[in-house]
Amino acid sequence: MQALVLNAFAAPMTIASLPVPRPGPGPGQVLVRIAASGVNPLDTKIAAGAAPHARPRLPAILGVDLAGTVAAVGDGVTQFAIGERVYGMAGGIAGIPGSLAEYGVFEAALLAPVPAALSLRKAAALPLVFITAWEGLVERAHVKAGDMVLVHGGAGGVGHMAVQLAVSMGAKVFATGSAASRGAIEALGARFIDYGASEVDDYVAEHTGGAGFDIVYDTVGGATLEASFKAARIHGGHVVSCLGWGTFSLSPLTARAASYSGVFTLLPLLSGKGHARHGAILREANRLIEAGQLQVRLDPRRYTLGTAEEAHAAQMDGSARGKLVVELGD
């Protein structure tokens, strides 16, 4: 089979014909003929050597997200059949071969069936961002109907999932973004906040009367996470971040008697524990997709294995207008 291989950090990936035509599935695993590979900021950081937390090992086949068709099943796999469409966040880190290859072997528990209404291209763009949004809003912050929810970066990958998820739960949702992203954010059902034209104290006063938001989901990190601490509701607000790397002062959060949770979506892959949670979360995504409450925004540009480097470049230069996907098959 052909695969795109990273042999050195901060160097171009190269297409290689691997000596074993197809890997075989072991117990609890499935062999997937990969149709599409989602591109995430994590993938580009790994390629640049800037993601030690993902524990990459060279040579590496990148690609955390995938969608494709089951080609073979290992012993003990009963939830999938040969020919079934599946998707998931299942490799590309810690020495686990990813989805920039024609075939891949993945743990069945990490995968879910692709809903009939979803193309494989769209399915490949969804796993990491939806799982990250779900873990933060549902598992950490326990979002519920009536909550005042603020999502920082509401037009981004995780952000546009978090907005839709909170809306589906009956929350009143606000989302920050650039002026250019206003239409996209409002189309998802959130009230837009221009982060470039409004300070945190101003929009907290305007939208919550100074009390703060019940839940603040930071998908940006850095100074935005620090601003999130000031936006949490006094007495019981909850800040969640999927980019909480670095050193931050918790004083503003403590002064509001609020709490903080970090989201580290890679943990099941890194630890080998909790795989079934990811498959279950994607089945929740299926439920929302089938109910018409969840959609994934795709960048219109099309990429193949031979032009995957261009997809990575578009991810890094900020030109993407939706999730980027590399297509590998029919």
Q: What are phi and psi of 191, to 5 degrees?
A: -90, 130
Closest CA to 63 of 30, 34, 27, 33: 34
Q: Tokens 């978090």, residue? A: 162
Measure the CA–CA gap between 278 and 273, rounded to whole angstroms. 11
Burial 10-33 (b: 16+ CB within 10 A, else e): eeebeeeebeeebbebeeebbbbb
Nearest to 191 by CA among 148, 227, 224: 148
Q: 31 near 121, Cβ under 8 Å? A: no
Structural domain spans, the chain: 2-126+267-327, 129-262
Residue with structure tokens 């996209």?
A: 184
Topology (CATH) of 129-262? Rossmann fold (3.40.50)
Nearest to 181 by CA among 193, 199, 164: 193
Predicted local confidence at residue 17, as pLDDT: 86
Query: Rounded distance, CA 50 to CA 60, Å?
Result: 14
Distance, CA of 50 to CA of 138 (rounded, Å): 29
Tell me the one-letter amino acid at 132. Answer: T
Tell me the mean pLDDT per 10 residues along the chain, length 330.
94 83 84 97 96 95 98 96 98 96 96 96 98 98 98 96 98 96 96 94 96 97 94 97 91 94 95 95 98 96 95 92 89
Q: How far apart are CA 80 and CA 31, in angstroms?
A: 11
For residue 237, how many other CB atoms are within 10 A of its CB?
26
Q: Which of 40, 39, 22 is nearest to 31 (CA)?
A: 22
Burial zone of 98 (CB within 10 Å; 0-12 exposed, 13-18 middle, 19+ buried): buried
The pLDDT value given to residue 255: 93
Token pair for residue 315? Answer: 């991810």
Length of the chain: 330
DSSP category for residue 72: E
DSSP E strand boundaries for 137-222: 148-152, 172-177, 191-194, 215-218
Neighbours of 325 (CB within 10 A): 27
For domain 2-126+267-327, the CATH class is alpha beta
Which pLDDT score is estimated for 22? 62
- Distance CA(163)–CA(232), nearest Å, equals 17
Q: What pLDDT shows up at residue 252?
A: 92
* Residue 101: strand pairing partners: 3
Give the C-alpha distances (Å, rounded to integers) separating 3 from 14, 194, 327. Answer: 8, 42, 12
Question: What is the spatial distance between Cα 89 and Cα 1, in angstroms, rounded to a whole number?
Answer: 21
> CB neighbours (10 Å) of residue 145?
8
Beta bridge partners of 17: 2
Q: Are 66 and 93 in contact (CB under 8 A)?
A: no
What DSSP element (H or E) covers 66? strand 65-73
